[in-house]
Structure 1
Amino acid sequence: MPRTILKDEHWTRLKPILLELNIYDKGNLRNTVEGVLYRMRVGCPWRDLPEHFGKPNTVYKAYQRWFRSNKLIALFALLIKDSDCEWVFIDGTHIKAHQHSSIGHENMQGISKSVAGRATKIHLAVDAHGNPITFILSDGTTHDVKVAPDLIDKDLSDTDILCADKGYDSDALRTHIKQAGCFNNIPRRRNTKSTNNHMDWHLYKTRHLVENAFAKLKHYRAVATRFDKLKQSYENTVALACAYLWLKL
């Protein structure tokens, strides 16, 4: 049995949310959702889906309707209502772009080419328990600190401390965090004259929570390697992976 087959308790929780998103309750809805999860897990072409999930074209067309209307991103947003944002951790990770995802206007689709090849970046924020609360996609050559203001522009009214590594050492970002009403726990680089007296090093040690979240997301083959040509499609795949982590809590 595939590991992405939904348990009854998970489906009981998920189905009302899907109906709230105006996803029609067809008789094969559960099989379709499980087919999308299976493809996300193994990263196979849609046409290679096992017969258990129904016709591959049916599953693919359903996924296509959902990602074009960003329903999977909306699903993720509905599942994170109980997040604990007292502490927030942010970081970014590179994702290799498969040759099948390479198209003419790569930069428009969040893919860029460097000496390491074509890549995309996922910029992720997690709560105090290491659960994903928001993410942004960018091309693989964009520096993390440039995306950070947009990543933390969500409501940080309940956040006391925002923690990140020294790659986010920027006075402009520190000012942005202060204006958002929370304290930054970002270490200074070694070549700066400022001290790290502001640092809570015990809290900084728990920054591995965001690294653990990336590790969990990369269990899904379609997230660990980008096969989707369209940025919107890959964005919804990442959102579904984040939502699936919340669904099992």
Structure 2
Amino acid sequence: MATDSRADPSPSQPKSIVDKVLSDVRHAVGRSRGGLTTKIHAVVDALGNPLRFVLTGGQCHDSVTGYEMLSQMDLTKRQVLADRAYDTDRILRLLKEQSAVSVIPSKKNRRKATEMGQRNLQGTPSDRMLFQ
């Protein structure tokens, strides 16, 4: 007796658009301008050693995942070094509440630059150190 494969799709094949989207989220694959991509969000120590990391789809904004990761850590009296993507009021407020020092340059479109944003910061080597 032959079975019809269309009647009972295998669990690996999405059944609908919603299932496909959920499948992509579970596998940290997302659509961005470059096509299907994955982002690695990492928190590292001063030597570039990873403390924690999260994989997300390419469409996830850095600041959203960054806030979630930072909010789960004790940042009291620590310096948090990040690039402009993390210059959001929400993250800066979290760092202030935890008495952490923000070393994040201001976004170019911020109306009033933060103290650190007024300085001319060069690119940080922490991401390069992580992948060596």
**TM-score, normalised relative to structure 2:** 0.70
Q: List aligned pairs for 1:130-209, cutoff 5 A.
A: 130-152=48-70, 153-157=72-76, 159-198=77-116, 204-205=121-122, 207-209=124-126
Distance 1:177 1:169 in 2: 11
Contact persistence 2:79–2:101 (CA under 8 A): yes
Higher RCO, 1 or 2 (CA under 8 Å, sep at least 6)? Answer: 1
Q: Post-superposition shift, 1:161?
A: 1.1
Identity level (%):
26
What is the Cα deviation at residue 126 of structure 1? 0.9
User: What amino acid maps onto 1:131 in structure 2?
Assistant: N
Cα RMSD, aligned residues only: 2.5
Q: Equivalences for 1:18-57 in 2 at 5 Å?
A: none
Q: Deviations over 1:55-89 (max 9, x none)?
A: xxxxxxxxxxxxxxxxxxxxxxxxxxxxxxxxxxx
Give the letter for the 1:168 counterpart.
Answer: Y
Distance 1:113 1:130, change over 3 A: same
In terms of fraction of residues, the more strand-rich structure is 2
Contact kept in structure 2, 1:169 and 1:188, CA below 8 Å: yes
Provide closer, same or farther for how the CA distance between residues 114 and 191 of structure 1 changes in structure 2, counting only shifts above 3 A.
closer
Q: Say which of 166, 190, 211 aligns to 2:128.
A: 211
User: Residues 115 and 103 of structure 1: is their aligned pair in 2 closer, same or farther, counting only changes over 3 Å?
Assistant: farther
Q: TM-score, normalised by structure 1?
A: 0.40
Q: Of 29, 44, 58, which residue of structure 2 is paired with 1:126?
A: 44
Shift of 1:171: 0.6
Question: What amino acid does structure 1 have at the position aligned with 2:128?
Answer: E
| Pairwise CA distance, 1:196 | 4.1
